[in-house]
């Protein structure tokens, strides 16, 4: 069910944020994001400051899509990791199924450390998301099933 949106319960959201925070601390990174391949932000942990997180999530998703096209041109399915190194700030992106793990780090860390710690966390996040989607698909009824058209119309009156 790759097209089914991921619906997180509050407990699941906080568990994901805890994993991201541990990754941020273990990799000595500034900020860590989890977004879907459409660029929708799922969770963020760290020093966001004046960073436009919505734009970063969208651009990272576009970057993965573009490099996915390049990968196919050379016979690869996709590139599972992407890294961009700047003078002061760098970005490492890991593809985790239908999600992207984005780590922003500076000179306090190294690409090698970020890659190592990200790889360790990717397996954990993939297991968490698989469990969430499995539970979601086993729920016979959508959380939105009881909402009628009349309920929606009444919101705009």
pLDDT tens for the chain, 157 residues long, are 445 677 788 898 999 999 999 999 999 999 999 999 999 999 999 988 888 999 999 999 999 999 999 999 999 999 999 999 999 999 999 999 889 999 999 999 999 999 999 999 999 999 998 888 887 776 655 566 667 778 777 778 7
**110 contacts 104 by C-beta, under 8 angstroms:** no
pLDDT for 132:
83
pLDDT for 135:
77
Class of domain 27-136 as given by CATH: alpha beta
Contacts for 142-145: CB closer than 8 Å, 24+ residues apart: 143/7
Distance (Å, rounded) from C-alpha 99 to C-alpha 103?
13
The residue whose two tokens read 């729920």 is 139
Distance (Å, rounded) from C-alpha 133 to C-alpha 129?
6
**Tokens of residue 84, six digits:** 């961009």
Instruction: Say what the pTM is.
Output: 0.82
Distance (Å, rounded) from C-alpha 93 to C-alpha 62?
12
What is the spatial order of strands in the sheet that 99-106 belongs to?
Answer: 41-46, 31-36, 99-106, 89-96, 81-85
């Amino acid at each position: 069910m790759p097209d089914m949106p991921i619906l997180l319960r509050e407990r699941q959201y906080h568990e994901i944020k805890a994993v991201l925070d541990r990754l941020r601390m273990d990799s000595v990174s500034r900020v860590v994001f989890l977004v879907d391949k459409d660029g929708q932000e799922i969770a963020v942990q760290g020093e966001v400051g004046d960073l436009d997180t919505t734009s970063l999530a969208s651009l990272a998703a576009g970057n993965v899509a573009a490099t996915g096209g390049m990968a196919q041109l050379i016979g690869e399915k996709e590139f599972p990791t992407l890294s961009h190194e700047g003078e002061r700030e760098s970005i490492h992106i890991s593809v985790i199924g239908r999600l992207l793990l984005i780590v922003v780090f500076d000179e306090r860390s190294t690409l090698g450390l970020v890659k190592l710690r990200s790889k360790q966390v990717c397996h954990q996040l993939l297991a968490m998301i698989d469990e969430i989607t499995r539970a979601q698909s086993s729920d016979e009824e959508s959380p939105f099933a009881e909402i009628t058209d009349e309920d929606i119309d009444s919101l705009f009156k």
